Structure 1
Amino acid sequence: MFKPITILFCILINFATFADSNKYEVDLPSVAQHIKVLASDEFAGRGPLTKGEALTIEYLASEYQKIGLVGGNPNSVGTSPLGYYYQAVPMAQITPDPNIMLKIGDLSLQSGADFTARTEQISEKIELDNTPLVFVGYGINAPEYNWNDYADVDVKGKTVIVLVNDPGFATQNADLFTGNAMTYYGRWTYKYEEAARQGAKAVLIVHETAPAAYPWSVVESSNTGSKYTLVDDANNVSKLPIMGWLQLAATEKIFEQSGLSYSALKQQALTKSFSPVTLKQTANLTLKNEISHATSHNVIAKIVGSKYPNEYILAGAHWDHFGTKSTPQGDIIYNGAVDNASGTAGTLEMARILMAKHKVNPFERSILFINFTAEETGLIGSEQFSKGEIIATKDMVALLNIDGMNVLNKVDYILQYGDGLSEMEDYLADATAAQNRRVKLDPRPQNGLFFRSDHFSMAKQGVPSLLFMSLGDTDPDYIAHKYHKAADDYSAAWSLGGVQQDIELMVDIAETLANSRAWPKWKMPSDFKTAREVDLAK
């Protein structure tokens, strides 16, 4: 017969065991509270360089500190006691004159309605003065696909017109590039980068809704008004001077003026034998800009590894959204609850669970949590981090990036963005199987989502990455009525079942890699794979 003191002792032991195991479980009330705070009107839409930023980065740094993580920047930023949790991200704000006009032959095209034009060069005025116009098809130079649209033309100082996406999407031929799934060669960012390497003065990307994956209204809103950019020591002179888009109807008129058929040339551009075509007209444009400089911040915190502290597993999510916009009817706050207060809350909860595990069985490698600034304005915070001033890319094992979580009920699958890209997909498959779930390939690969979030800044430097994104997959109404709109607000009715299972999955992958000697590799031949091989050979 047990004595009372023995019974009490057993109860205490059982309670302690329960409490110890419970700290490894996802604390959904805590996650909900983080989302609620970050997406509150008080945080004013978490716009970079606003009071919303100040509130957000202090909240995140304080929460990481409470959990027990140390600041991830060895050099304190500013005078704040939380400065070791911040990374400075110097940015230039470039605001173009909204009344610019593009003249091509007899056509006078209106900014916003017919075309957009902006720059990342730090210059108050950039001009196109009777600049020759050349149609270069898809504007792709891809040795691994034996494809080079620039092979037979010199575009130095010229304005090039290019098609969006890539020939695989246009033909739906699985043997051409990757068929329906967009490659990086199809992204508008690549078009500008390659044209800059070729010495072009300007690029005008022809907009069509299907291959672009969004309507002209998105192009117009994303490429007019103030934009931010990082600034290098040469004021970004290596960047393309003018980055533009053309409405389809305007494009057809431009080609007609030269006695050419846009649709016929677009068809010709689907073959490797296509030769660029010089148009009869020239381009004239004066791009005037107002320029100001300011500093935003990434938030960085880490769990220090016991054996290999200089090898890092990264877990990230962007903290920013669109802030507050003034209208004649009053201010509109874009709270960004799902995009991306949910992902930011996810990194905090992952940090809490992994820190609790680390205190009992220390991880061999370090785990670093980073919340990026200015994702919504061009992956700026992650681009700054990818430069390696805090951690060299050769020391980054892999990145798990969250950009919008499933705040609704649990599902029996996890979305995988990209197919056959890297060995990180194998880690995803193993962790998913352990949950008795299945991997589901991105149902909209033509949208190229793998190339549109912060992990891609690291991928370009060779760091294998996974994107965790549920925007619109479990809630189709979200994309139509809430995505990048003021309606993306927190709801107490969310079950957060999807958040729970995805955090558990990411914790599993992070823990596995943190106690491994493996360095995940890229599978598909690409610039990313080459960059990784060079890095690991150092």
Structure 2
Amino acid sequence: MSRKILIGLAAGAIALAGCKKEADAPAAAAAPEAASSSLPASNHEFQPAIDAGDFAELVGRLASDEFEGRGPGSAGEERTVEYLRAQMQRIGLQPGNGDSFFQEVPMVETTADPNTKLVLTIGGEPVELGFGTDMVVGTRTGESLVSVKDSPVVFVGYGVKAPERGWDDYGDEDWTGKTVVMFVNDPGFHVDDPKLFDGKKMTYYGRWTYKFEEAARRGAKAALIVHDDAGASYGWDVVKNSWSGAQYDLPASDDPEPRIPVQGWLTADAARKLFAGAGISLEDAYKQANKPGFRPVPLDATLSVDLASTTARKTSRNVIGVLPGAGRADEAVLYMAHWDHLGKHEGEGDQIYNGAVDNATGVAGILEIAEAFANQDPKPERSVVFVAVTLEESGLLGSKYYVAHPTFPLDKIAGVINLDAMSVAGRSKDLVVTGLGSSELDDMLKVYADQQGRVLKEEGNTAAGYYFRSDHFNFAKAGVPALYASGGSDLVEGGTAAGKAASAEYAKRYHQPSDEIHEGWRYDGIVEDLTALYGVGRDLAAGDRWPNWREGNAFKAARDTMMADKAAAPATP
């Protein structure tokens, strides 16, 4: 899983999941190679409805050693995508990308020189910062050398522009060539003020990815985020490990987001020295940044760095199948799950990272839902699209590429449902909705939760911003309402104590070779969860409903603009 919460079974592994996608570099991502042998045939007889035995067959194959941990660019990828294509064809789906089930995803691998030094000249005195010890920096430009010389450093609070909240940390200054320094998380978080943004609950503006994008939109030359454990929800070692080694991104030509030449993080100690040069304590800086009407503060410092990187171009593939709608085939409901995991590593013992929970369960889940749709009577009015994306473990790149190159226009997608790390702990009394309250899709899910005698609950540790750490996030940023839900931790058999025990057990296996199918897996809860999520999509595909984001949500403006533009466009003859 990538930048997200482990829901249900993994509810107790929240911090682990939140850190991972900041921390782990992916396994190898070389050009795809042909599978060494074809997969053995299965004699399993699939049922038309969502079925525990069918799910067990699918997840068992996807998590087996023959798929070699489903590493992008490996023989395991070739076997995985061919298996997924075969399953989609068996179900009766049509190719989802023109006449192909595959969508090629280009990527750029960038590795920053770990010997990079960054120099802050504070009050006329140069201070050299070491990579990993005082700072980490990288570039998404794809360039082998990016140089910044004597760039003026300015403190921009939390680096947020939120028009719907009346907040703009940048103002109307010219930021060309400047370096911006900012805090992680949102205004309100560090002073525990529930009246500022959402208090301790992270919004989209609190994510470090947003902050770099906004700095790029402003034309800054470099951007640095001040790290703190609570605000980031992980320690400095996570940041250091995350930004060391190979980093993956889409080529700039395939990514609509703005990119800043140099981006990275400062330790709190390094930031303290920087602020002291301007006569400001770090503690006072936090107070200033949390006052409405904050204005940028020059820090009497400049930044210089020569950032050398090695780069390489590689590819992977999304797998896309579609069930064409009976009456409104140009509109779509989209289910998604990421097929990739960490692959096969060299070494002694078991070195295959099977990724059974993460995310063979989600891929098996969308296939089971596809089977139910294919056998549904009456057929859905809208088309239903099933996308198994790649490179989630490398920064949500497969879904980002799909959003930039959608097979249905985004204004024709009524909603997205993401399946990632399904709970295998058994039936639960709750359904955990990560980002509960974000969109009207919650109301549609509640109908089925009520029918099952269950309640909707938000994820634990809302300060960590887990809604922004899985593949649906790329759709959300573009404005398309997206739902991310799975079984809860209040189990029918054993209650919350049993749920916590199951979570603790899975935390030991998370992103380890031991994330395999285990004898204690329970499929009755999976069937209930999939049935509820299928129900949401079935209702959405049956009519002309267009769910939206809640008032005040950061993504609502994009959806409103998208739908208004669609309504104003001339009708197609």
Match of 2:215 among 159, 173, 195: 195
User: Does 232-241 or 371-380 show the bigger shift?
Assistant: 232-241
Q: Quick check: which has more Rg, 1 or 2?
A: 1
Match of 2:154 in 1: 134
Q: Distance in 1 between matches of 2:49 and 2:349?
A: 43
Q: Is it true that 1:125 corresponds to 2:141 in the alignment?
A: no
Aligned residues of 1:122 and 1:235 also touching (Cα < 8 A): no
1:225 CA displacement: 1.2
The amino acid that maps onto 1:94 is T
Match of 2:329 in 1: 309
Q: Is it true that 1:337 corresponds to 2:356 in the alignment?
A: yes
1:118-161 Cα shifts (integer Å, max 9, x gaps): 11112110012122211111011111111111016433211111
SS at match of 2:538: helix
Would the alpha carbon gap of residues 489 and 23 (structure 1) be closer, same or farther in structure 2, given more than 3 Å must change? closer
Counting only pairs closer than 5 Å after superposition, residues 34-45 of structure 1 correspond to structure 2 as 34-45=58-69
Would the alpha carbon gap of residues 385 and 477 (structure 1) be closer, same or farther in structure 2, given more than 3 Å must change? same
SS at match of 1:103: strand
1:456 CA displacement: 1.2
Counting only pairs closer than 5 Å after superposition, residues 106-185 of structure 1 correspond to structure 2 as 106-151=126-171, 153-185=173-205
Q: Distance in 2 between matches of 1:209 and 1:483?
A: 21
1:499 CA displacement: 1.4
Q: Distance in 2 between matches of 1:236 and 1:454?
A: 16
Aligned residues of 1:134 and 1:155 also touching (Cα < 8 A): no
Counting only pairs closer than 5 Å after superposition, residues 35-114 of structure 1 correspond to structure 2 as 35-75=59-99, 84-105=100-121, 106-114=126-134
Give me the TM-score of the superposition, normalised by structure 2: 0.84
SS at match of 1:436: coil
The amino acid that maps onto 2:416 is L
Q: Is it true that 1:242 corresponds to 2:243 in the alignment?
A: no
Aligned residues of 2:191 and 2:287 also touching (Cα < 8 A): no
Match of 1:519 in 2: 546
Give me the TM-score of the superposition, normalised by structure 1: 0.89
The amino acid that maps onto 1:521 is N
SS at match of 1:169: coil
Aligned residues of 1:121 and 1:237 also touching (Cα < 8 A): no
User: Does 61-70 or 227-236 show the bigger shift?
Assistant: 227-236
1:25 CA displacement: 4.0
Aligned-pair RMSD on alpha carbons? 2.2
The amino acid that maps onto 1:166 is D
Q: Is it true that 1:296 corresponds to 2:296 in the alignment?
A: no
1:182 CA displacement: 0.8
1:285 CA displacement: 1.5
1:224 CA displacement: 1.7
1:71-126 Cα shifts (integer Å, max 9, x gaps): 11114xxxxxxxx1111111111122222122223432221232211111121100
Match of 2:443 in 1: 426
Aligned residues: 506
Match of 1:29 in 2: 53
1:250 CA displacement: 2.3
Q: Is it true that 1:399 corresponds to 2:423 in the alignment?
A: no
User: Does 477-486 or 32-41 show the bigger shift?
Assistant: 477-486
1:234 CA displacement: 9.0
Match of 1:496 in 2: 523
Q: Distance in 2 between matches of 1:331 and 1:288?
A: 36
Q: Distance in 1 between matches of 2:433 and 2:460?
A: 9
User: Does 257-266 or 426-435 show the bigger shift?
Assistant: 257-266
1:303-359 Cα shifts (integer Å, max 9, x gaps): 1111111111111011112223446x68843322211111111111111122122xx
Match of 1:356 in 2: 375
1:533 CA displacement: 2.2
1:497 CA displacement: 2.8
Q: Distance in 1 between matches of 2:509 and 2:372?
A: 30
Would the alpha carbon gap of residues 36 and 116 (structure 1) be closer, same or farther in structure 2, given more than 3 Å must change? farther
Q: Distance in 2 between matches of 1:113 and 1:341?
A: 37
Q: Distance in 2 between matches of 1:322 and 1:471?
A: 26
Percent of pairs with identical residues: 40
Unaligned runs of 5+ in 2: 1-45, 491-498, 567-573
Q: Distance in 2 between matches of 1:167 and 1:195?
A: 17
1:378 CA displacement: 1.6
Would the alpha carbon gap of residues 519 and 152 (structure 1) be closer, same or farther in structure 2, given more than 3 Å must change? closer
SS at match of 2:265: strand
SS at match of 1:251: helix
Would the alpha carbon gap of residues 326 and 418 (structure 1) be closer, same or farther in structure 2, given more than 3 Å must change? same
SS at match of 1:192: helix
Aligned residues of 1:316 and 1:401 also touching (Cα < 8 A): yes
Match of 1:443 in 2: 460
Q: Distance in 1 between matches of 2:254 and 2:443?
A: 41
User: Does 165-174 or 362-371 show the bigger shift?
Assistant: 165-174
1:238 CA displacement: 4.0
Aligned residues of 2:213 and 2:257 also touching (Cα < 8 A): no
1:3-37 Cα shifts (integer Å, max 9, x gaps): xxxxxxxxxxxxxxxxxxx9454322322232232
Aligned residues of 1:420 and 1:524 also touching (Cα < 8 A): no
Aligned residues of 1:121 and 1:236 also touching (Cα < 8 A): no
Greater RCO, 1 or 2 (C-alpha within 8 Å, sep 6+)? 2
User: Does 303-312 or 259-268 show the bigger shift?
Assistant: 259-268
Would the alpha carbon gap of residues 399 and 337 (structure 1) be closer, same or farther in structure 2, given more than 3 Å must change? same
1:233 CA displacement: 3.4
